[in-house]
Chain A
Amino acid sequence: MSSLTTTVSDALSLLATFDHAVAEIVALSLQVSGGAVALGTLIGLPLGACIAVGRFPGKNVLSVLINGMMGLPSVVVGVVVYLLLSRSGPFGGFGLLYTPLAMIVAQTLLVVPLMAAITRQVVEDVWQRYAEELQLMRFSWWDSVTTLLYDCRHSLLVAVLAGLGRAMSEVGAVMIVGGNIDRATRVMTTAIALETSKGDLALAIALGMVLIVIILALNALAFALRHWAMRRYG
């Protein structure tokens, strides 16, 4: 019991003194996951909307595939990206393995299916209501996609947040392609795993607290934004 309280108070003092090592790890986490979610938004949202609006053979197969990939274990994605980026792999020449860029690539692959699946669901419901009128106005397929994404922009925050949550909390992919190198590719989750195994629970708990606070703050922000949007636009 007393060891738990000392650990927690050590963790709090690490946070209170704004420990440099902690700050560096948190910053890199935000950069990597933020970058992955930004890319994921650019790819996943239009992809989901295209699947919702498009009429093409294999549409249902694609939907099932993307839904299935939502739950893809992050270590599997890590291994795949590792194989692609390793020296003998097809993209080995770029020398990206064990860099933050490789971590962004891996997390992007992880969040795109999740964000696309949520977007498809949200956009499909609205598309059902709007399809005929947009068709009558001679909207091209792409005009429909952009119009629907714009119309759903507040609901799609959920997709972005879900992506961010998944990216920030995963360990497997960044561990494999980043290598958890101190001051280079160490992020919150890999640091927590490492420090716990080393027995430095104070640092692990401090990082865990930061992770939770960040995720809660983002959700609160999104909630407030959606609440405002509902009142503003109905």
Chain B
Amino acid sequence: MAIFPLRIRDLRYQPNGREVLAGIDLELGDEGITLVLGPNGAGKSVLLRTICGLVQPSSGSIVWGEEQGACPAQGVMMVFQRPMMLRASVLHNVALGLKPLALSRREREARAMAMLERIGLADRAADSARQLSGGEQQRLALARAWLTKPRLLLLDEPTASLDPSATAAVELIIREIRTDGTRILMVTHNLGQATRLGDDIVFMSAGRVCEHTAVRAFFARPHSEEARLFIQGELPWRMRFPGA
């Protein structure tokens, strides 16, 4: 089933009357890395969770390819900022992604091991996953998601609270996943990362998409006042929370 282009139309999410998503319009082609920027509370995480079906929108539509409907059964995966780590070995945690497939345990572990080689954690395969550092855990989670060969991968601040070299390691893996043919939509607060990784930028504020442009254009000539102030690190409180 073709899942691109992904078209999001007037997507709203209003729990208890609060406008968390206030009419999102967004279209994603089948290639590249799109970065989602925006102030805290803009609705970035909620948007990602709505796209992968964890949150039911109040109204609006998400059209995958030519078919309207819910999240396709396969092909969309999301990695959270603090990914789940089972109390088990690194290898076990990566192989977990393949559990729903009808594969032998040996086959699952062989594939997981090959993946660990690729992301440079092979020597930690037998260690407990919970004893990995934050950066290593994030790489593990990316490997687990990558192993399922998703068409679209949603990443919610995968490098928040990582040091520069751990961040670089994670970025390298994200690039490889993209080269492998996976479409990536990723939230970040790291503007440098946006220029390093991104093909295009989605800028969100107060539950809306204010801008969707190429990276260069976004930083050179932001259209909206919010984006301009955000880039300068001067977005005032009043504009972050229109109700305040």
Whether A234 touches B73, Cβ cut-off 8 Å, given contacts A133-B84, A136-B78, A137-B96, is no
- C-beta contact mask, B175-203 vs A, less than 8 Å → 1, else 0? 00000000000000000000000000000
Partner of A140, one of B77, B100, B148: B100
Are the CB atoms of A133 and B83 closer together than 8 Å? yes
Partner of A233, one of B52, B54, B88, B100: B88
Q: Does A94 contact B (CB under 8 A)?
A: no
Whether A136 touches B86, Cβ cut-off 8 Å, given contacts A147-B96, A147-B99, A233-B130, is no
Q: Hey, which chain B residues are within 8 Å of A139, CB to CB?
A: 99-100
Assembled-state Cα–Cα distance A234/B89 (Å) = 11
Q: In the complex, how many residues of chain A place their beta carbon closer than 8 angstroms to a beta carbon of chain B? A: 21
Query: Which of A140, A143, A153, A233 gathers the greatest number of chain B CB atoms within 10 Å?
Result: A233
8 pairs, CB–CB < 8 Å, chain A vs chain B: A136-B52, A138-B100, A143-B99, A153-B87, A232-B128, A233-B88, A233-B128, A234-B130
Are the CB atoms of A138 and B88 closer together than 8 Å? no
Q: Which residues of B pack against A, CB within 8 Å? A: 52, 54, 73-74, 76-78, 80, 83-84, 86-88, 96-97, 99-100, 128, 130-131, 148
Interface positions, chain A 123-151, Cβ under 8 Å from B, are: 129-130, 132-140, 143, 147, 150-151
Name the distance in Å between B105's Cβ and chain A's nearest Cβ. 13
Are the CB atoms of A138 and B74 closer together than 8 Å? yes
Q: Hey, which chain A residues are within 8 Å of B87, CB to CB?
A: 151, 153-154, 229, 233-234
Assembled-state Cα–Cα distance A71/B83 (Å) = 38
Query: Which of A138, A143, A154 gathers the greatest number of chain B CB atoms within 10 Å?
Result: A138
Name the distance in Å between B66's Cβ and chain A's nearest Cβ. 23
Q: Hey, which chain A residues are within 8 Å of B78, CB to CB?
A: 136
Q: Hey, which chain B residues are within 8 Å of A137, CB to CB?
A: 77, 96-97, 99-100, 148
Partner of B84, one of A130, A154, A229: A130
Assembled-state Cα–Cα distance A215/B33 (Å) = 59
Q: Hey, which chain B residues are within 8 Å of A154, CB to CB?
A: 87
Name the distance in Å between B48's Cβ and chain A's nearest Cβ. 11
Are the CB atoms of A136 and B130 closer together than 8 Å? no
Assembled-state Cα–Cα distance A118/B76 (Å) = 35
Assembled-state Cα–Cα distance A139/B96 (Å) = 10
Closest to A130 in B: B84
Partner of A151, one of B86, B99, B100, B128: B86
Assembled-state Cα–Cα distance A233/B131 (Å) = 7
Query: Which of A134, A137, A154, A232 gathers the greatest number of chain B CB atoms within 10 Å?
Result: A137
Closest to B148 in A: A137
Q: Hey, which chain A residues are within 8 Å of B74, CB to CB?
A: 138
Name the distance in Å between A161's Cβ and chain B's nearest Cβ. 19
Name the distance in Å between B135's Cβ and chain A's nearest Cβ. 17
Are the CB atoms of B131 and A234 closer together than 8 Å? yes
Are the CB atoms of B88 and A150 closer together than 8 Å? yes
Q: Hey, which chain A residues are within 8 Å of B84, CB to CB?
A: 129-130, 133-134
Interface positions, chain A 178-234, Cβ under 8 Å from B, are: 229, 232-234
Query: Which of B77, B84, B96 gathers the greatest number of chain A CB atoms within 10 Å?
Result: B84
Assembled-state Cα–Cα distance A137/B96 (Å) = 9
Assembled-state Cα–Cα distance A151/B128 (Å) = 12
Are the CB atoms of B128 and A136 closer together than 8 Å? no
Assembled-state Cα–Cα distance A81/B80 (Å) = 51
Closest to A234 in B: B130
Assembled-state Cα–Cα distance A130/B141 (Å) = 13
Whether A234 touches B80, Cβ cut-off 8 Å, given contacts A137-B96, A137-B99, is no
Assembled-state Cα–Cα distance A143/B148 (Å) = 16
Are the CB atoms of A234 and B128 closer together than 8 Å? yes
Whether A151 touches B88, Cβ cut-off 8 Å, given contacts A137-B148, A138-B74, is yes
Name the distance in Å between B45's Cβ and chain A's nearest Cβ. 12
Q: Hey, which chain B residues are within 8 Å of A134, CB to CB?
A: 84
